[in-house]
């Protein structure tokens, strides 16, 4: 009879504790994680800080924390961290036991292996009773993330159109019309934009007159990066190494030119991460903010095209209202693309092509 009561009491205790922990184990449990810095470059080492706190009098006998990251962030040896890594994502799993009013702070030492934007993602916490017979699960998203900039290549000693532009800027510069300096009117000529027509002067003279603009020394550069690794690419790059090299080269060119006080804009036919129909379109500008904008855009660039490079350049040609120095960074130049570049030249733009070759052989310049 005594054994029966002992068994009955044991069953009641097991059921009560299971109900108690199932209901309250995850109550007042807080979790957060954040990178110590919001941005870094490929190859940089940094810290990811993880904080777990039990803000109640009831202990938590066991707590499983699971999260997911994109691949590209490498975690160095860390106690109590099980990592299973796939092609695109890595799953993390850790186990804890929390006493009442306890806070645990973990500092993960990680390395940014590849450019990109890494969201902190969603965390799932599971806890239960002392015997593991029942459990409760809670999932919630975390705000923030890490932007990993591409590592800029050193272009200071490379034979690139960069050196030509620097010579133009320092020695004689490219003389272009300044749209803000008007020195009079002249007879209309074929090709003059309609927005420059001076209607009052035209009415007085009886023929179309356009505003004459003074010249100013300027060098405005637009870089177009092609994410297609070959002309027949369907949607996603099949040889990403060459395109990734082009991204790092573009970052190096932008950093070098902007550091010399020049103005530069950036465009690409690739889409931005989490924005599949949005392409890079940074207007020409200078200064520190512009280089951060370019690095951020290159970090978020996906190797999936929105338009073919030919169609993208045609779209750009139709909307450019000023003359630019154009730099094309591409893995190929086809006859069709060459014809498009000649159209840019016919509209007064100066065009240079940096042709990306196989990895290990660098790049070369091609005349348009």
The domains located in the chain, with CATH, are 24-149 (2.60.40.10), 161-173+219-367 (3.40.50), 180-216 (no CATH)
Residue 191 has pLDDT above 80, yes or no: no
Q: Is the pLDDT of residue 110 over 60?
A: yes
What pLDDT, on a 0 to 100 scale, did the predictor assign at position 40?
Answer: 97
Which whole number is the average pLDDT over 164-172?
A: 48
Q: Which residues of 82-109 are buried (b: 16+ CB within 10 A; e: fewer)?
A: eeeeeeeebebebebebeeeeebebebe
**Residue 96, pLDDT above cutoff 80:** yes
Which residue reads 């092509």 in tokens? 353
Give the pTM: 0.78
When the pLDDT of each residue in the chain is averaged and rounded to a whole number, the result is 84
> 172 in helix, strand or coil?
helix
What is the DSSP-derived secondary structure letter of residue 194? G
Q: What is the pLDDT of residue 22?
A: 76
Q: Give per-residue pLDDT as tens, 297-333.
A: 999 999 999 999 999 999 999 999 889 999 999 999 9
Mean pLDDT on 100-119: 95
Question: Out of 20-24, 43-47, 242-246, which region has the weakest mean confidence (pLDDT)?
Answer: 20-24
Residue 166 has pLDDT above 80, yes or no: no
- DSSP-based three-state secondary structure for 253: helix
Query: Is the pLDDT assigned to residue 220 strictly greater than 50?
Result: yes
Is there a contact between 303 and 280 (Cβ–Cβ < 8 Å)? Answer: no
Between CA 48 and CA 53, with CA 51 as vertex, the angle to 5 degrees is: 170
Mean pLDDT of 83-96: 90
Q: Is 124 in a helix, a strand, or coil? A: strand
One-character DSSP codes across 15-62: HHHHHHHHHHTTTTEEEEEEESSSEEETT-EEEEEEEEEE-SSS-EEE
Alpha-carbon distances, residue 41 vs 107, 146, 148, 150, 168 (angstroms):
20, 10, 5, 6, 31
327 and 366 Cβ atoms separated by less than 8 Å: no
């Amino acid at each position: 009879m005594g054994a029966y009561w002992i068994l009955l009491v044991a069953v009641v205790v097991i059921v009560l504790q299971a109900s108690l922990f199932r209901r309250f184990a995850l109550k007042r449990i807080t979790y957060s994680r954040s990178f110590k810095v919001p941005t870094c470059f490929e190859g940089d080492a940094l810290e990811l800080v993880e904080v777990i706190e039990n803000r109640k009098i009831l202990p938590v006998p066991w707590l499983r924390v699971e999260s997911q990251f994109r691949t590209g962030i490498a975690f160095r040896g860390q106690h109590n961290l099980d990592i299973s890594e796939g092609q695109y994502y890595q799953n993390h799993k850790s186990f804890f036991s929390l006493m009442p009013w306890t806070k645990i702070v973990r500092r993960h030492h990680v390395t940014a292996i590849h450019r990109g934007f890494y969201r902190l993602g969603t965390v799932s916490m599971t806890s239960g009773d002392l015997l593991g017979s029942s459990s409760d699960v809670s999932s919630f998203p975390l705000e923030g993330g890490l932007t990993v900039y591409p590592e800029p290549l050193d272009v200071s000693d490379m034979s690139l159109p960069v050196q030509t532009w620097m010579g133009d800027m320092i020695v004689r510069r490219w003389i272009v019309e300044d749209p803000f300096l008007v020195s009079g009117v002249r007879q209309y000529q074929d090709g003059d934009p309609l927005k420059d027509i001076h209607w009052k002067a035209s009415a007085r003279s009886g023929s179309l007159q356009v505003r004459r603009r003074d010249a100013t020394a300027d060098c405005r550069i637009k870089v177009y990066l092609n994410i297609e690794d070959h002309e027949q690419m369907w949607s996603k790059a099949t040889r990403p190494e060459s395109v990734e090299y082009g991204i790092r080269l573009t970052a190096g060119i932008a950093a070098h030119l902007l550091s010399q006080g020049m103005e530069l804009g950036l465009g690409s036919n690739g889409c931005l991460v989490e924005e599949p129909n949005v392409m890079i379109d940074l207007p020409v500008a200078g200064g520190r903010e512009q280089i951060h904008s370019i690095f951020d855009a290159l970090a978020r660039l996906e190797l999936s095209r929105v338009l073919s490079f030919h169609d993208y350049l045609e779209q750009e040609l139709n909307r450019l209202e000023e003359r630019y120095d154009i730099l094309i960074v591409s893995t190929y130049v086809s006859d069709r693309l060459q014809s498009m570049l000649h159209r840019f030249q016919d509209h007064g733009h100066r065009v240079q092509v940096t042709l990306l070759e196989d990895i290990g052989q660098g790049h070369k310049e091609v005349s348009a």
